[in-house]
Amino acid sequence: MRQRIVRAFGGVLVGLGLVACGGGPAVLGDWESDKRLENGEKNELELNEDYTGEAMIWATPASNPTLWTQFRFEVAWGFEGADYNFDLNCIEGPCNGDDFDMDCNVFLVDNGDGSESEKLDCEGDKKWASYPLQWERP
């Protein structure tokens, strides 16, 4: 599935302008959840120039919200304009139907002190549709 998505986005990527300083898409690099989770951890997302990446996401089952489980995902991604699309394939954890797609946008937030921070605001699908998927640069 990952190879198909990378190929599907490949044609679109060639024709798009690069938007980040340094010549790559604004989403490249490391991200972490914008808030610490109730277990004290942060989710992590790493996005590479070859349109792959990895994610580590903590979650709890609906039946026991105190039981935190770590999921690891392989990520294939692409973009069209300012819209980023991610295909997350579960490779470690319970992985019972936990593959999902995530649609995101990068934006800047004024920190109130004259500086700005990059944020990545995402929405998941399937089991992850109501999970908070907001990211920031570490």
Average confidence (pLDDT) per 10 residues, the chain, 138 residues: 36 33 79 96 98 97 89 96 95 93 95 93 96 96
Express the helix, strand and coil content of the chain in percent, nearest 5 each: 10, 45, 45
**Would you call 120 helix, strand, or coil by DSSP?**
strand
Query: Under 8 Å CB-to-CB from 89, ≥6 apart: which residues?
Result: 1, 2, 73, 74, 75, 76, 99
Distance CA 44, CA 56 (A): 5
pLDDT at 96: 87
To the question of pTM greater than 0.85 for the whole model, the response is: no
CB atoms within 10 A of CB 75: 20
Query: Under 8 Å CB-to-CB from 121, ≥6 apart: which residues?
Result: 104, 105, 107, 133, 134, 135
pLDDT at 20: 41
Q: CA angle, 125 as apex, 123 and 128 as ends, to 5°? A: 85
pLDDT at 63: 84
**Would you call 11 helix, strand, or coil by DSSP?**
helix
